[in-house]
Structure 1
Amino acid sequence: MSAPSSIGLITSGAFVNQELVAEFGLLPPSFLPLGVGRLYDMQIDSLRKNSTETSPLYMTVPESFDVPAYDIQRLNEKGVTLLPVPDDMQLGEALVYAINVINAYNTGVRILHGDTVLGQIPSYLDVVSGHAEGDDYSWAAIKHSDNAIVSLETFEATSEQNSENPVACGYFAFSSGAELVRAISQARGRFIDGINNYLQRRPMKMEKIQDWYDFGHIQTYFRSRRLVTTARAFNSLQITHNTVRKLSADTFKMKAEAEWFESVPSKVQPYTARLLDKGSQGQRAFYSTEYQYAPNLSELYVFSTIGRVSWNKILTSCAEFLEICATTPGDQPRDDYSRQLMGSKTVERLERFAKETGFDIEHELVYKGRKKPSLLEISRRLETMVSFDPAASSTMMHGDFCFSNILYNSRNSRISVIDPRGYVFSEKCEIYGDFRYDIAKYSHSVDGLYDFILAGRYNLKQDGLYNFDLNFDTSSHCQWLQDAFSEMTIAGVSVSSAEIRAITTSLFISMLPLHSDRPDRQKAFIANALRLYSTLEGKI
């Protein structure tokens, strides 16, 4: 079997710097969160797009990094081989180490730094990608003559450098692994010096890259994430370095969300995104909020390795927000809202799901080998567990208090909520409802592991249409966090009470028809509802 023309290598063999550790925990750069996945998802896709399908891909990781089982499986499915390297190696040394392990001497080596995503990757070898300008960090300038590289020179952030020389932006391709090993070894493991040695033997070209996303520093991470998010969701979001504009043809929904931000009392405002503008854009309504350079709790829960100190601060801030909501009464009885939010809606949506999919909602189910009632029967039982009190007053409510709608600023240890509901009854904008619904939405992320389902980090087995077995690839902190969460009481309501757990379970059932484009998620939601219901059976 002949050797491949080139191999791809993502260099993620060192942990991120302390700024990013404070945000996301101790992670290699390629494992940083990005949306409902990790940075490596985009990196692998871009490398695959610019190489043959049979071209092997490798990724270096620190030897001390305990790669989660799900990531091992996902990388294996993507055809990526992990190469653990000693933690204390500098970049050039790690490259030599990797090439030796792979035995990639008689092939080309295409290198993408682990903190980098490029909009386009050159398809040929002996090339260095360049960008017109760098950031306020150390970088390498590419001196060239008509794109023929003369040399690379490293500069510190404070250095004065001719802006005509592009910056090396994280992608390098070499036609000979053996020559690269020799060049870096002669430079005593220094990567840039090694490239300059390589240039003495093999000419290299510089190719300018328009779209460079740098995730290597705290400021560049959030800026690059903003740009990637904009590119992926241009129909519904328009993001600048200062603002997020949310657009929708559902004009009432946009109006309700905007008016929620306008109407919340001053004591709530520190916990919310700041509304800047609202209006119409063509056939769509919009509102704009300040863009916040902060991760959401979904990313932190599923993908980070932050510790208990950080999570305790997050839980405290969430509880502060919910306490304020619970002690901000409305004029109407709570029951009016409760019955609309948690009454017959679940059964109505379940019937819609059955009509659309043919799933028999009256068929007895099985979960982990144990018989369970039908979905319809479970829904009816859950409804009986929710108390209705005519004397209770309505309270302020966010309406969608789940992890993806909660940002966390580690600098001030405070959450900031986005994407509120803004209404309970159709065509009536208001900030009021039943705060128990917010607690259930909160639990729907913590105990319900909703964000793990969206990220695909679960294993579902089915024996026939009505027999389910579900397991999650949860982070190490999940059990501790769930235990700490279960001990919380907010405005006199225990978050682990049977009533809150019943509402949480019903949420997974009621959202079934809302995910008609993803039958795989619908099955996971059913299995998850059965998992949650199983913890309630003794209390019904």
Structure 2
Amino acid sequence: MTVRLIMSGAVVGQELAAEFGPLPPAFLPVGVQRLYELQLKSLEGAGPVHLVLPETFAVPEHDATRLAELGVEVVPIPEGLKLGEAVVYALNAIGAGDVPVHLLHGDTLIPGPPKDRHDVIVGAPRASEYAWAEMETDAAGRVVSLVTTPAGEDGHEDWPLAAGYFAFGSGLDLLRSLTRLRGDFIGGVNHYLQGRPVRLVEAADWLDFGHLTTFFRSRLAVTTARAFNTVRIDGLTARKSSHDTAKMRAEAHWLQAAPPPVQIYTARLLGFGLEQGRAFYETEYEFLPVLSELVVHGDLPRKPWLRIMGSLEDLLAALARVRGEGSGDAALRRLAAEKTLERLDAFERATGQSVSAPMRYAGRPCPSLVDIAEALAPAMDLASGRFECAMHGDLCFSNVLWDSRVRRIKVIDPRGAVRESPSLFGDLRYDLAKLAHSVVGRYDQIIAGRYRLDRHGGDYALQFEPVACQAWLEGALADMTVDGVGGLSEPVRAVMASLFLSMLPLHADRPDRQQAFIGNALRLWQGLDAGLKAAA
């Protein structure tokens, strides 16, 4: 038996906490996953893993379930312990005995670690100017000692860094060494090295998520390692491509044609063209967190979220000041009312699931999906007489980046067209509805799978994982008014509900997600319907 510990017993430092909140490093967001999921995948097949966490950290229900499914035992430890003290505490809590002990730092990802070898330390070349433990080795590859080089100093150019994976052959010797050195991890390892031969294993790859700079570069490495059909990222630019030339041209045109007061909130367009039969455009790549990551996996306090919502309101106000000559009502009718009915028909033809049958939500009767879509159209106020204005067209959290240093959002992936030809213009209510479908509609939690759907025939009930920022976000959106339109006004909520019906055929590869969208549309309809009846 080998004891395997992921050491994540203290929250991240101030830089990362400012971006994501006071999370243990293994809980940092990496796209739609947490870091621990990637770490456990790298340790797959190695046997049971113990995840060491601060005892004051409340593991979210979804994560607790996920960890249990993966066979991970959480080991809570007191806060304020030094790393060596935390290791001693965890091993004593487990009752490990004299067995091999493998340690992975909670902010580290090493694909293909030496899971089956003992008395080895994984080493890697220096990747930044932070303080690291360097390894002195002899000619035979034996580790002689670890030496911490202060941040900013060059250290020993030919000494590898200890990359965060330690495989000790004797847990008892490790405990003795750490205890003798009073919880000093580096000192304890050096004491262990005096009694047992430990060899260097060079890492094929090493990703460090423990500092702000290394976090974003490591996240980029994980992102670019995935197989994308439409996006290519090299750390300098993001290239989006598609066989749909009209779509690429429309998005590029929007980014180029947006006036300066809008462009300060957008990704910077670098180029557009054709390559191997696919249209593409390039923007400058931004090393910034995405709002969907922050709302699903982050733990930011109230003030940063209010700044984010304030910046979104500033963008919407800048868009609203760019007036077109057409009708906003006509654009909204096409985007929300007409398209929803077309998409419902496509969903029924593709799946065979009726969109004309009466539904229920939490035991309460609801109209059919088609009837709901038709009832939502009048609530959108499509005879308001509003002029069209500049519109992003897909202002959900997954398309919004947050720059905490300048306290300004940046948006990517605009729609760029309401009908066939590229255009800046559309309707403000649609942008507000897209924002609301992340805030009130909780779209990003559905995409991340952090919900529970109970379905019995046509009766749906949907529960979301609680997130601390939910009330702050909904309150900020309710308080928002842009060009006379309230952030949660009746037309905005009607469009928001229709969005979940309209998206159904776009997620044909995920039937579970489609059913969650239906349940969510019914939930939102019930809330809106109650308000409509009260107003009548």
Report the TM-score when normalising by structure 2. 0.96
Matched, 1:528 2:520: yes
Matched, 1:460 2:456: no
- Match among 296, 308, 316 for residue 314 of structure 1: 308
Specify the SS of the correspondent of 2:195: coil
Q: Tell me how far apart the structure 2 counterparts of residues 279 and 207 of structure 1 sit (CA, whole Å).
A: 45
Q: Is the 8 A contact 2:305 2:472 kept in 1?
A: no
Matched, 1:484 2:476: yes
Q: Is the 8 A contact 1:148 1:205 kept in 2?
A: yes
Question: Which residue in 1 is equivalent to 2:87?
Answer: 95
Report the TM-score when normalising by structure 1. 0.95
Q: Tell me how far apart the structure 2 counterparts of residues 120 and 246 of structure 1 sit (CA, whole Å).
A: 30
Which has the larger displacement, 334-343 or 379-388? 334-343
Q: Tell me how far apart the structure 1 counterparts of residues 387 and 358 of structure 2 sit (CA, whole Å).
A: 39
- Match among 463, 466, 471 for residue 471 of structure 1: 463
Specify the SS of the correspondent of 2:229: coil
Structure 1, unaligned stretches of length 5 or more?
none
- Match among 165, 171, 186 for residue 165 of structure 2: 171
Specify the SS of the correspondent of 1:48: coil
CA shift, 1:200, in A, is 2.2
Which has the larger displacement, 386-395 or 262-271? 386-395
Structure-to-structure mapping, 1:11-30, within 5 angstroms: 11-30=7-26
Q: Tell me how far apart the structure 2 counterparts of residues 67 and 43 of structure 1 sit (CA, whole Å).
A: 17
Question: Which residue in 2 is equivalent to 1:43?
Answer: 39
Specify the SS of the correspondent of 1:60: strand
Matched, 1:448 2:441: yes
Q: Tell me how far apart the structure 1 counterparts of residues 6 and 495 of structure 2 sit (CA, whole Å).
A: 44
Q: Is the 8 A contact 1:452 1:474 kept in 2?
A: no
Specify the SS of the correspondent of 1:267: helix
Specify the SS of the correspondent of 2:330: helix
Question: Which residue in 2 is equivalent to 1:80?
Answer: 72
Matched, 1:180 2:174: yes
Structure-to-structure mapping, 1:67-216, within 5 angstroms: 67-123=59-115, 124-144=117-137, 145-216=139-210
Structure 2 letter corresponding to 1:117: L
Which has the larger displacement, 72-81 or 411-420? 72-81
Q: Tell me how far apart the structure 2 counterparts of residues 177 and 158 of structure 1 sit (CA, whole Å).
A: 34
Q: Tell me how far apart the structure 2 counterparts of residues 208 and 277 of structure 1 sit (CA, whole Å).
A: 40
CA shift, 1:161, in A, is 2.2
Structure-to-structure mapping, 1:53-452, within 5 angstroms: 55-123=47-115, 124-144=117-137, 145-389=139-383, 391-426=385-420, 428-452=421-445
Q: Tell me how far apart the structure 1 counterparts of residues 397 and 140 of structure 2 sit (CA, whole Å).
A: 50
Q: Is the 8 A contact 1:362 1:376 kept in 2?
A: yes
CA shift, 1:203, in A, is 1.5
Q: Is the 8 A contact 1:116 1:212 kept in 2?
A: yes
Q: Tell me how far apart the structure 2 counterparts of residues 391 and 451 of structure 1 sit (CA, whole Å).
A: 32
Question: Which residue in 2 is equivalent to 1:31?
Answer: 27
Q: Tell me how far apart the structure 2 counterparts of residues 47 and 83 of structure 1 sit (CA, whole Å).
A: 18
Q: Is the 8 A contact 1:8 1:47 kept in 2?
A: no
Q: Tell me how far apart the structure 2 counterparts of residues 389 and 373 of structure 1 sit (CA, whole Å).
A: 24
Which has the larger displacement, 389-398 or 495-504? 389-398
CA shift, 1:457, in A, is 0.7
CA shift, 1:250, in A, is 2.1
Structure 2, unaligned stretches of length 5 or more?
none
Specify the SS of the correspondent of 1:343: helix
Q: Tell me how far apart the structure 2 counterparts of residues 198 and 390 of structure 1 sit (CA, whole Å).
A: 76
Q: Tell me how far apart the structure 1 counterparts of residues 49 and 521 of structure 2 sit (CA, whole Å).
A: 39
Structure 2 letter corresponding to 1:277: G
Structure 1 letter corresponding to 2:274: S
Structure 2 letter corresponding to 1:222: F
Q: Is the 8 A contact 2:330 2:382 kept in 1?
A: no
Q: Is the 8 A contact 1:274 1:290 kept in 2?
A: yes
CA shift, 1:394, in A, is 1.1
Which has the larger displacement, 340-349 or 226-235? 226-235
Which has the larger displacement, 292-301 or 507-516? 292-301
Specify the SS of the correspondent of 1:272: coil
Q: Is the 8 A contact 1:302 1:474 kept in 2?
A: no
CA shift, 1:396, in A, is 0.4
Q: Is the 8 A contact 2:134 2:148 kept in 1?
A: yes
Structure 1 letter corresponding to 2:79: D
Structure 1 letter corresponding to 2:415: R
CA shift, 1:390, in A, is 7.5
Specify the SS of the correspondent of 1:147: coil
Q: Is the 8 A contact 1:43 1:117 kept in 2?
A: yes
Specify the SS of the correspondent of 2:406: coil
In 2 relative to 1, CA 146–435 (structure 1 residues): closer, same or farther, beyond 3 Å?
A: farther
Q: Tell me how far apart the structure 2 counterparts of residues 418 and 282 of structure 1 sit (CA, whole Å).
A: 24
Question: Which residue in 1 is equivalent to 2:2?
Answer: 6
CA shift, 1:168, in A, is 0.9
CA shift, 1:107, in A, is 2.1
Structure 1 letter corresponding to 2:306: N
In 2 relative to 1, CA 390–59 (structure 1 residues): closer, same or farther, beyond 3 Å?
A: closer
Aligned identity (percent) is: 47
Structure 2 letter corresponding to 1:245: R
Specify the SS of the correspondent of 1:271: coil
Q: Is the 8 A contact 1:366 1:466 kept in 2?
A: yes
Q: Deviations over 1:198-253 (max 9, x none)?
A: 22222212111132111111111111111111111443322223221222222222
Q: Deviations over 1:24-52 (max 9, x none)?
A: 11111111111112111111111115x1x
Matched, 1:513 2:509: no
Q: How many residues align?
A: 530
Specify the SS of the correspondent of 1:238: strand
Q: Is the 8 A contact 2:111 2:206 kept in 1?
A: yes
Q: Tell me how far apart the structure 2 counterparts of residues 259 and 458 of structure 1 sit (CA, whole Å).
A: 37
In 2 relative to 1, CA 285–147 (structure 1 residues): closer, same or farther, beyond 3 Å?
A: farther
In 2 relative to 1, CA 380–391 (structure 1 residues): closer, same or farther, beyond 3 Å?
A: closer
Q: Tell me how far apart the structure 2 counterparts of residues 467 and 317 of structure 1 sit (CA, whole Å).
A: 39
Q: Is the 8 A contact 2:306 2:472 kept in 1?
A: no
Q: Tell me how far apart the structure 1 counterparts of residues 206 and 51 of structure 2 sit (CA, whole Å).
A: 20
